[in-house]
Amino acid sequence: MSARSTRITGTLLLAFVRGIGRARFGLTSTHARRAAFALEWRCAFEKLGGAFIKLGQMISVRPDEFGDELAGEMERLRDQVAPVPFAEIAAVIERGLGASTATLFASIDETPLASASVAQVHAAVLSAAYRPVWGDELPAGAEVVVKVIRPGAGEALLADIGEARRLGGSGLMRALLRGVDVSALLDEFEDSVRRELDLRVEGRIADRFAFDFRPDPKIVVPRIVWNLTSPQVLTMERMYGWRLSELHEAELAGVDAHGLAVHGATAFMRQVMLYGRYHADLHPSNLFVTPDNRIAYLDFGIVGHLTDAERGDIAQVLAAFVYRDADRALRYSANLGVIVPPEKVAMVRRELGELLDATMSGGATDFKHFGFGFLGLLRRNGIGIPGGYGLLVKSLATVEGVARRLYPDIDIMEVARPFVTRMIGESIGSPAKLQERLPAVWRAAMRELLA
Amino acid sequence: MAEFDPMKFFALWMFTHDQADDLMVQSVARGSAVAGEGMSGGPDAFTDGFMAMVAEEKRRLKEQIASGGAEKAADPDAERFDEVKFEVAELRGRLDQMQRTLDAIAAHVGATGA
């Protein structure tokens, strides 16, 4: 067993033992017990670093699979590690781009702006103008940031995944993670890590977002400098602004927090329902409020994709949530893979109706409470939740949280209402829909008239 | 065969129209109520919400007609042209990046003398 294997096994076992103690040997409520273990797992993942940070981030967007407590706790995971010396970072840049940093950039700051488990970010200045895929030209002298994969990060991450596979097969882990398909999860995780290790993927997604949001002057996405980019190096426009934790300063500078909260939530609805691509990792550090009253999206590591049919079904499910229509929610959720067995339909429908009335009526709604409650309701009834469905619910809850940090009284369902209503209304004009539904409409009208 | 009575025909037509109009006005009023407070929820709530939106569209249309302005429809050709511009620009980005990779390989080969 390697030193790393021993460390992983030891840290996870210690977390488990500490979790038992923190949960008072199982004598607390289910929620308190889960929260206690979640805290220990999060601390252990932070200690282990590497792939465990990434795994924690993935868990944080999957409350459907891991429960609210663990997903919520993993949101707090700090991805900050000691920086790699600049000489090592410069070597990666020079190997990837084929020239010295002095030749490639007018200047580059040796002190990193950020240092995370996979990549380190340095500020730099362009030595020559560059015409990006979308937007105005970046002139010579433009400020950029250079994101660089840390040397050895890829190998270490993949080795950790191998170790996680070994551990996942052990009896203890199988018992701890019962109900979770560890092998499928690790396959999905390995795919996402491999994608993240190729920074060109993130650059292409950023370009696509910039294009999607071209009619919206309030949304800004950093422009990518492709001739200074390789799989391990991503050079992009530098963004200035305030993180959501610095909102007070932003408001003092005259930023319209309410307007931006509504606009940000609307932008998310457009991503989901119009473009079929959405930023699925919208935590407060991936978002800036700029001095010119705009929202800057950063870090396109986790992006959800939707087909046209899924967009239509999601609009219907959201409409069901907005208008508190449990039947509609279950009917269209089934199209998205949430299949309720016939013998459970009546019970799930009743519980969903109660949840909708409790969280989505009377003044401001609470989508996070509702969304996680709904996923919990499905889980309790043994109903499988497709990954994409859970990711979307979690993303909406996150958008609500982010918007509320900007403006505490915002009602995300009020923002969604015109979107889903219009989208479903417009679908009436589709010839396929008319052909499908008109016979039933005619029968219903005649039945009423002739009754 | 009963004789066609235009008066009865128009009266029936007017009655149907009034009934539909009354139902529509009520639906718009319910749909315009603030969500959660005025809304009852359930399948009919969506219809009410939709009717309120249609009424809003009608109000805008009336204002537009009154001001003599014409609605500026989205130009599908401009949309398609934008898509083509983006695809070509994306390709250019990929080529820029590939050129950089080739330069890096050439520099590496030159440095190692391979």
Pairing of strands A219-220, A295-297: parallel
Cα(A182)–Cα(A201) distance, integer angstroms: 26
Q: Determine contact, residues A378/A368, Cβ cutoff 8 Å.
A: no
Same domain? B55 vs B110:
no
Question: What pLDDT is stored for residue A179 in this prediction?
Answer: 60
Question: What pLDDT is stored for residue B36 in this prediction?
Answer: 47
Contact status of B89 with chain A (Cβ, < 8 Å)? yes
Position B38 confidence tier, pLDDT thresholds 50, 70, 90: very low
Instruction: Name which residue leads in pLDDT, A126 or B26.
Output: A126
CB atoms within 10 A of CB A286: 19
Same domain? B65 vs B107:
no
- Looking at beta carbons, which residues of chain B come within 8 Å of A324? 39, 41-42, 45
Same domain? B67 vs B28:
yes
**Each residue's pLDDT tens digit, A8-33:** 888 888 888 888 887 777 677 777 88
Token pair belonging to B36: 């959660």
Strands (E) across A280-397 are located at 287-289, 295-297, 303-305
What is the number of structural domains in chain B?
2
Same domain? B19 vs B66:
yes
Phi, psi of A130 (to 5 degrees): -140, 135
Same domain? B32 vs B42:
yes
In whole angstroms, how far apart are CA A447 and each of A355, A440, A442, B16? 34, 10, 8, 18
Same domain? B53 vs B108:
no
A97, A98, A134: residue with CB nearest B86: A134
Cα(B17)–Cα(A162) distance, integer angstroms: 71
pTM score: 0.79
Among B57, B72, B87, which residue terminates a domain?
Answer: B72
Which of A286-300, A309-323, A361-375 is predicted least confidently? A361-375
Q: In what order do the strands lie in the sheet with A219-220?
A: A219-220, A295-297, A287-289
Contact status of B58 with chain A (Cβ, < 8 Å)? no
Same domain? B8 vs B35:
yes
Catalytic residues of A: 281
Helix axes A367-380, A345-359, angle to 10 degrees: 160
DSSP B33: S
Contact status of B96 with chain A (Cβ, < 8 Å)? yes
Same domain? B13 vs B55:
yes
- Looking at beta carbons, which residues of chain A come within 8 Å of B57? none
Inter-chain residue contact A207 with B90, CB threshold 8 Å: yes
Same domain? B57 vs B84:
no
Question: What pLDDT is stored for residue A125 in this prediction?
Answer: 98
Q: Determine contact, residues A103/A94, Cβ cutoff 8 Å.
A: no
Contact status of B93 with chain A (Cβ, < 8 Å)? yes
Same domain? B33 vs B88:
no
Same domain? B34 vs B17:
yes
| Domain range enclosing B108 | 73-114
**Each residue's pLDDT tens digit, A215-270:** 899 999 999 999 999 999 999 999 998 877 677 777 777 778 788 888 888 888 88
Inter-chain residue contact A425 with B50, CB threshold 8 Å: yes
Same domain? B68 vs B88:
no
